Amino acid sequence: MPEDPRLEDEEREMDDEGLEELAQVLATPPPRELRARVLAAVQERGQLDRVRRRLTRWRAGGLAAAAAACVMALLYAQQVRIAQQNADTISAMLDGASGVMAHMAAQGREIVERGDALLVHAEIIRILSSPNLKTAPLDPMAGHSGSARVLLDPISGAVALVGVGLPPAKPGEVYELWALRGDAPERAGEFETDPSRKNFALRLRHVRAPSEVTAFAVSLESKRGLAAPQGPIVLMGSIES
Amino acid sequence: MSDPALESELVRRVARGDEVALAVLYDRLAPLAYGLALRIAGDKRSAQDAVQEAFLNVWHGAERFVATRGTARAWVLRIVRNSAIDRARSEGAHERARLRAIELGGVSWPAAPERPDLQLVGQESRSALDSALDELPAEQRRLIEIAFFQGLSHTEIATREGIPLGTVKARIRTGIGRLRQIAAQGRIHA
């Protein structure tokens, strides 16, 4: 190695000074050919060094390009993976959201239904609270089942129907309540029964001249909007005094 | 003439791959390098090899030169000395191996080539220094030879010679000062 690392600074200074002194004393002209030998060796080594440096630069450039390509590939793969994860997450969220939406829609429907039921019950309570309330118990006709009671506010003509055991109408058929008085029957409203419930409570149309109504009847009709019942009468009863 | 700033600049240029700078550096230092190598290696061929190797080491190691830690001249001469010492040790090992082989069973082992002309040059250059060294006390002369021609550190010399480190330093410093005086009086002619 060119330098002796063991030499301390002071010692090295002494060594340097002494060495220069002694070399000065010993100075001897070298053979002329030694210069050519030394410079040729250095030149040869210099060319090798240049080639080596060039190769190193190329190698370094190649390595840098390869490393950059690897980094880009890794970044791309990472982005693809993140995008895939995001897509999966969004899909899962959408699935969850659609489930939540369906649940909310069902709850909304139930709330609407319960709201309607509450309105019916409120109307029924209002009718029941009438001081002149009139009722008409409806009994099944021969060959039919179920029973019901009509609640009539004789002042406003509001009508409600509560009952039990009336079978659901077949597809295309509908129950119709009729108000009966001396001249002709009046449509008091059509209705269906809920197959999942045994009881039913309905608020129907107002009737004209409620004080003149003497009885009510329920028929099963295959057409809607008839002026008079055409189907079978399933329930019927008079207003109680 | 020594020009430390110029020689430092030459080494810096060599570090940048400047072959011309190396040629200039060689022209300035070759006589010193060759004389030193000749004294240590003992023959012309080894000295030339040592100088060539040393300048190749300068070419390769120039970026390690630190100007604040000494002159470029001393740095180059240390490289020359190390290279010459390695050569001398190698020659010594070769000779010891040859003698040992003969001793063990008459094995043929080529001796180092004869070099009478080189020995003559070596003797001539030695005589100038030796005459100066002869004027030094024996203990100073011995320590200077060990320190500068065998490349031992002052600590190693102190251990080897069994004397305090301070004494080693003092004797070498005094001896160098004395040689400088002799040279200044013109009584040394290489």
pLDDT at B115: 41
- Residues 40..99 of B with a Cβ closer than 8 Å to A: which? 44, 48, 51-52, 55-61, 64, 69-71, 73-75, 77-79, 81-82
- In b/e form, how buried is each residue of B133-147, taking b as 16+ CB within 10 angstroms? beebeeebbbbbbbb
Cα-based distances in Å from A20 to B2, B81, B123, B143, B180: 10, 11, 20, 16, 11
* Burial of B78 per CB tally in 10 Å (0-12, 13-18, 19+): buried
Who has greater pLDDT, B181 or B9?
A: B9
pLDDT at B127: 58
Structural domains of chain B sorted by starting position, each given as residue range(s) with its CATH number in brackets: 4-89 (1.10.1740.10), 135-184 (1.10.10.10)
Nearest CA in chain B to A42: B56
Residue with tokens 């057409």: A223
Nearest-by-Cβ selection for A2 from B64, B129, B176? B64
B32 chain-A contacts, CB cut-off 8 A: 20, 23-24, 26-27
A37 chain-B contacts, CB cut-off 8 A: 48, 52
Say if the Cβ atoms of B26 and A38 lie within 8 Å: yes
Q: Where are the beta strands (DSSP E) in chain B?
A: none
Q: Which amino acid is at A76?
A: Y
Nearest-by-Cβ selection for B82 from A2, A39, A46? A2
Instruction: List the pLDDT tens digit at each of the 241 positions of chain A.
Output: 444 555 567 777 778 888 888 888 888 899 999 999 999 988 888 777 777 777 777 777 778 888 888 888 888 888 888 888 888 888 888 888 888 888 888 888 888 888 877 887 888 888 888 888 999 999 999 999 999 999 998 888 889 999 998 998 888 899 999 999 877 889 998 888 888 878 888 888 888 888 889 999 999 999 888 888 999 999 999 998 7
User: What is the layout of strands, in order, in the sheet containing A134-140?
Assistant: A186-191, A174-180, A215-221, A233-238, A134-140, A147-152, A159-164, A199-203
B17 chain-A contacts, CB cut-off 8 A: 46, 49-50
CA distance A28 to B50: 14
| Token pair recorded at residue A131 | 């001081």
- Residues 54..73 of A with a Cβ closer than 8 Å to B: which? none
**Structure ipTM over 0.90, yes or no:** no
Nearest CA in chain A to B40: A26
Nearest CA in chain B to A19: B148
**Interface membership of A113 toward B (CB under 8 Å):** no
Cα-based distances in Å from B84 to A5, B93, B111, B115: 18, 14, 20, 17
In terms of Cα–Cα distance, which of A171, A169, A127, A163 is closest to A236?
A163
pLDDT at A177: 93
Distance from CA of B162 to the nearest CA of A (A): 18
Who has greater pLDDT, B35 or A203?
A: B35
3-state secondary structure of A129: coil
pLDDT at B88: 83
CA distance A21 to A24: 5
pLDDT at B108: 47
Cα-based distances in Å from A9 to A6, A14, B70: 10, 9, 9
pLDDT tens readout for residues B94-127: 666 555 555 554 444 444 444 444 444 445 545 5
Give me the residues paired with residue A219 across strands.
A176, A233
In terms of Cα–Cα distance, which of A123, A141, A111, A108 is closest to A202?
A123
pLDDT at B125: 47
A18 chain-B contacts, CB cut-off 8 A: 144, 147-148, 172, 176
pLDDT at B186: 64
- In chain B, count of helices (H) and strands (E)? 8, 0
